[in-house]
Amino acid sequence: MREHILQLEEISKKLEPTIKKRAEWNQGIQEYADNFLNTLDDQKAFVLGEDGKDILKLEFGSEPKNLDDLLKILKKNVDSVSLNPASGGHLGYIPGGGIFPTAMGDYLAAVTNRYSGIFFGGPGAVRIENQLIRWMCELIGYPKTSLGNLSSGGSIANLIAIVTARDFHGIKSKDVEQSVIYLTNQVHHCVHKAIRIAGLREAKIRHVPMDNCFRMDTNALKKLVEKDISNGLKPFIVIGSAGTTDVGAIDPLNDIADIAEVHNLWFHIDAAYGGFFIMTDIKNPDGSTIKDKFKGVERSDSLAIDPHKGMFLSYGLGAVLIKNVQAQMESHYYQANYMQDTFEANDELSPADLSPELTKHFRGLRMWLPLQLFGIEPFKACLEEKIWLTRYFYEEVQKLGFEVGSYPELSVAIYRFIPKNSAPNEFNKKLVEYIHKDGRVFISSTTINGDFWIRIAILSFRTRLWTIDLYLEILKEGIASISKENTNAIKISNS
């Protein structure tokens, strides 16, 4: 048996590369990363028609492969196809970030493989993650006793909050059909997904009417809640938005908080996209400030916020902030006999006791390191830059003949071209297709009340004034091209 073990040891040692091999691989990876970053301005934001299917030809086998060959395959099939989220031309959906120290933090977290789930196993890692959560709680005005969890994104963050609210209100399976949830049609679809996963599919979902700026109508909310109570139902949660994905709207948070307090509703806010804009000092045209729009956020019971959006980090870091940490723990805490050695180590609450995850990546390092290296000021300036870029685009696009939606509250705006001799929806669909085919920038679209709108979402830290000017030129080119195409089509049909 010993001889067999030693034979296996010789083979398994290959998993621990030599210093020379590590240096060789590190150099290859570094050169690839540097080349990617150094040529970003020359890369398209979107490559149409490529789907990376050749990656499937590379099967897993017993023989090792060369790193250089693998990097060439990755470049062709992963980093040169479809959407390029690292590009400053990514103006669709809600762009992710990718500031360089994020990668440094992830690299160190992966190499050291620190476990940030249980305080006993990784006290320093847990302290870092809880420190980050407390900083975000302070940012939005939560008390020092609040906490939450670092998640993979807004989806898990919203799920943790909704499950905590469900259990706090004592909703059992027999109560679900009589329980009521309030939200608007602008709420992100991950909230609906969380509601379903939390076992609340059969709950009464009230879609609260909105004003003409797509913000929750709190008078309508008040009437709905009162009616449901009078009918013997059990309202238990209202979900507001601080920056909707469609249009960037911020619900009247303070007014919602008033209603939630009167009727003992759990008030949850999805601020995954917009939350960090509370850091800015920009004034609005009406004399108010961006911060004024967030008044009442501190009165909520829980909030989802994504550092991989508003802090420009790479994908994979969201957060949920919760005031009632005891309620959060009661929903997610579980003890096992084999973990008994960890029970006495409780200087900090363990993240694994506050979320569905037990095994988790030390994802906090990707945020902690950039904050320490840069300080807060560049993040604040970058957020303000994105608001001003959106306002600039909003004004300039109207000069091209576009109809626009409501004045952007944050960094998302909707717009559509109204042609003289063709249907607006079809024209704007063609315009989106033209932009995607061009590929220098990427935008997305949405449909609101049957109307097709184009969206611009400016949140990539690499998006600059020249990027927006370039996009305005592409729009001009697209309008001219489609108009000419439509005119020729009319001539052909009349001949």
Assess contact for 55 and 73: CB atoms under 8 A.
yes
What confidence score (pLDDT) does residue 346 get?
Answer: 80
Judged by average pLDDT, the poorest of 71-75, 95-99, 416-420, 457-461 is 95-99
**Cβ proximity of 195 and 181 under 8 Å:** yes
Identify whether the C-beta of residue 277 lies closer than 8 Å to the C-beta of residue 387.
yes
Q: Are strands 179-183 and 234-241 parallel, antiparallel or unpaired?
A: parallel
Q: Please tell me whether residue 395 adopts helix, strand or coil conformation.
A: helix
Q: Are 105-374 and 377-494 in the same CATH fold? A: no
Measure the CA–CA gap between 382 and 462, rounded to whole angstroms: 9
Q: Which residues touch 301 (CB under 8 Å, ≥6 apart)?
A: 165, 260, 266, 267, 268, 322, 323, 324
CA distance 354 to 340: 18
Q: Assess whether pLDDT exceeds 70 at residue 284.
A: yes
What's 377-494's CATH class? alpha beta
Sign of CA dihedral 435, 437, 442, 445: positive
Mean pLDDT of 52-72: 92
Phi, psi of 383 (to 5 degrees): -65, -45
At the topology level, CATH places domain 105-374 in Aspartate Aminotransferase; domain 2 (3.40.640)
pLDDT band at 55 (very low <50, low <70, confident <90, very high): very high
User: What is the sign, positive or negative, of the torsion defined by CA atoms of 120, 121, 127, 129?
Assistant: negative
CA distances from 327 to 182, 185, 300 (A): 21, 28, 15
Tokens in use for 261? 């307090």
Range with the poorest average pLDDT among 88-97, 178-187, 403-412, 483-492: 483-492
Average pLDDT score, the chain: 95
With 90 as the cut, is the pLDDT of residue 474 above it? yes
d(CA 368, CA 474): 38
Are 132 and 356 in contact, with CB atoms under 8 Å apart?
Answer: no
Q: What's residue 484's pLDDT?
A: 86
pLDDT at 494: 60
Per-residue confidence at 492, pLDDT binned at 50, 70, 90?
low
Percent of the chain residues topping a pLDDT of 90: 90
Q: What is the mean pLDDT of residues 251-260?
A: 98
Give the residue-averaged pLDDT of 102-110. 97
Taking every pair of Cα atoms in the chain, the longest distance, rounded to a whole number of angstroms, is 90
Q: Is the pLDDT of residue 495 over 60?
A: no
What residue spans define the domains of the chain? 15-84, 105-374, 377-494
